[in-house]
C-alpha cells in the first residue's frame, strides 16, 4: 500500500507561542474523503492551515507521501498537489469570477500555455461557473462564491483537496449540489479530500472516514455508518 498523501505524527502548532494542536496523529489516504469534525475552537482550521503550510509546526512531523516536510511552504504544498479551499471562501468581492480564477492560475504557478485548458477543465467539473464568469464575485450568492472558491482550488489539478467548512451559510440541498460534482471528481481521479465541517449530517453523506477533534487533540476515528443516529452523534461531543 502506498504511503498516505498527508500524515502527521505528534503534531503541535499554534499562535504566538500558544499551542492549539496538542499532538495530532492523523493520516489522509489516497482516494478517500476524510471528514474532520469538532466543536468551534477545537483546532480544525489550525490543523488544515498547518497541513497546507500556512502555519509552521512547533513540534512533531508533517509527512507528504511518507517524506518529512516540516517546513512545507504553500508553494511547496501546491507543487506537491495539495490545494486549499479556505474558510470564508477568500473570494475578492470587487473582482470578476474570471479575474479570481486568473489570479488562482497565477498563484498556483500554472504555465500560461495551460491556462485556457485548465479553465475549461474546471468548468467541465463545475459547469455553472460559465454562467457567472463575467460577474463580480461580490454580487454572487454564498453558494456561487463557494463554487468559485472550489473552482479556484481545482485550477492546480490537485490530488489532495483541503476544504475548510465549505457549507457555511449554505442550505443542505445547496451543499449537496456543490459537493456532488467534487465527490464524483474525487472518485474518478482517486483524489483525497480532507473535509472540515460543522454540518455533520450532510458531510457524512460524502465521507469515507470521520475524525473527531476536541481541544486540539484527535479523540475518535470512526466510519460514517457508526454515526447513523442522533444518539451516536451526540456521544461524539
Ligand atoms: N490567527 C489566530 N491567532 C490567535 N489565535 C487563533 C487564531 N486563529 C485561531 N486561533 C485560536 O485557536 C483555537 C482553534 O481555532 P480554530 O479556528 O483552529 O478552531 P476550529 O475547530 O476550526 O473552529 P471553528 O469551527 O469555529 O472554525 C481557538 O482558540 C482560536 O481562538
What is residue 63's predicted lDDT score, i.e. its pLDDT?
95
Question: Is it the case that residue 1 has pLDDT exceeding 70?
Answer: no
**What is the C-alpha separation between 147 and 165, in angstroms, rounded?**
13
Summarize the confidence of residues 221-231 as an average pLDDT: 84
Question: Is it the case that residue 117 has pLDDT exceeding 80?
Answer: yes
Summarize the confidence of residues 104-112 as an average pLDDT: 93
| Distance from the alpha carbon of residue 46 to the mean position of ligand 1, in angstroms | 6
And the C-alpha cell for 20? 492549539
Is the minimum distance from the CB of 88 to ligand 1 under 6 angstroms?
no
What is residue 237's predicted lDDT score, i.e. its pLDDT?
66
Identify the residue whose C-alpha is closest to ligand 1 atom 30.
Answer: 41
Assign 91 a pLDDT band (cuts: 50, 70, 90). confident
And the C-alpha cell for 64? 507528504
Nearest to 8 by CA among 62, 53, 58, 48: 62
Give the β-pairing of 67-68 and 82-85: unpaired
What is residue 46's predicted lDDT score, i.e. its pLDDT?
97
Summarize the confidence of residues 119-126 as an average pLDDT: 95
| Distance from the alpha carbon of residue 197 to the mean position of ligand 1, in angstroms | 14
Is the minimum distance from the CB of 41 to ligand 1 under 6 angstroms?
yes
More confident residue, 27 or 40: 27
Is the minimum distance from the CB of 45 to ligand 1 under 6 angstroms?
yes
State the number of CA atoms in the 13 A half-sphere of 174 facing the CB: 13
**What is the C-alpha separation between 124 and 182, in angstroms, rounded?**
11
ipTM of the complex model? 0.96
Residue 193's H or E segment, with its range, is strand 192-196
| Distance from the alpha carbon of residue 66 to the mean position of ligand 1, in angstroms | 28
What domains, with CATH codes, occur in the chain?
Answer: 1-81+161-237 (3.40.50.300), 87-157 (no CATH)
DSSP state for residue 233 in the 8-state scheme: H
**What is the C-alpha separation between 139 and 132, in angstroms, rounded?**
10
Identify the residue whose C-alpha is closest to ligand 1 atom 10.
Answer: 15
Assign 227 a pLDDT band (cuts: 50, 70, 90). confident
* Digit-coded pLDDT (tens) for 132-146: 999 999 999 888 999
* Digit-coded pLDDT (tens) for 155-193: 999 999 999 998 887 777 888 888 899 999 999 999 999
Summarize the confidence of residues 80-104 as an average pLDDT: 92
| Distance from the alpha carbon of residue 85 to the mean position of ligand 1, in angstroms | 17
Amino acid at each position: 500500500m502506498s504511503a498516505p498523501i498527508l500524515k502527521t505524527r505528534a503534531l503541535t502548532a499554534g499562535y504566538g507561542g500558544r499551542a492549539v494542536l496538542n499532538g495530532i496523529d492523523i493520516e489522509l489516504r489516497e482516494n478517500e474523503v476524510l471528514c474532520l469534525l469538532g466543536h468551534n475552537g477545537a483546532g480544525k482550521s489550525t490543523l488544515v492551515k498547518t497541513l497546507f503550510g500556512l502555519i509552521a509546526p512547533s513540534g512533531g512531523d508533517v509527512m507528504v507521501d511518507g517524506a518529512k516536510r516540516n517546513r512545507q511552504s504553500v508553494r511547496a504544498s501546491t507543487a506537491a498537489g495539495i490545494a486549499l479551499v479556505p474558510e470564508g471562501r477568500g473570494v475578492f468581492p470587487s473582482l470578476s469570477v474570471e479575474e479570481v480564477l486568473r489570479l488562482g492560475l497565477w498563484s498556483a504557478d500554472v504555465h500560461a500555455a495551460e491556462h485556457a485548458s485548465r479553465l475549461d477543465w474546471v468548468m467541465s467539473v463545475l459547469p455553472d461557473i460559465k454562467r457567472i464568469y463575467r460577474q463580480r464575485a461580490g454580487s454572487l450568492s454564498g453558494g456561487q462564491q463557494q463554487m468559485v472558491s472550489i473552482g479556484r482550488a481545482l485550477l492546480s489539478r490537485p490530488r489532495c483537496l483541503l476544504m475548510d467548512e465549505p457549507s457555511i451559510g449554505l442550505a443542505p440541498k445547496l451543499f449537496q449540489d456543490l459537493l456532488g460534482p467534487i465527490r464524483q471528481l474525487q472518485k474518478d481521479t482517486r483524489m483525497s479530500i480532507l473535509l472540515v465541517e460543522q454540518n455533520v449530517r450532510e458531510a457524512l453523506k460524502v465521507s469515507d472516514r470521520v475524525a473527531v477533534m476536541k481541544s486540539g487533540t484527535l479523540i475518535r476515528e470512526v466510519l460514517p455508518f457508526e454515526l447513523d443516529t442522533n444518539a451516536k452523534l451526540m456521544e461524539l461531543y
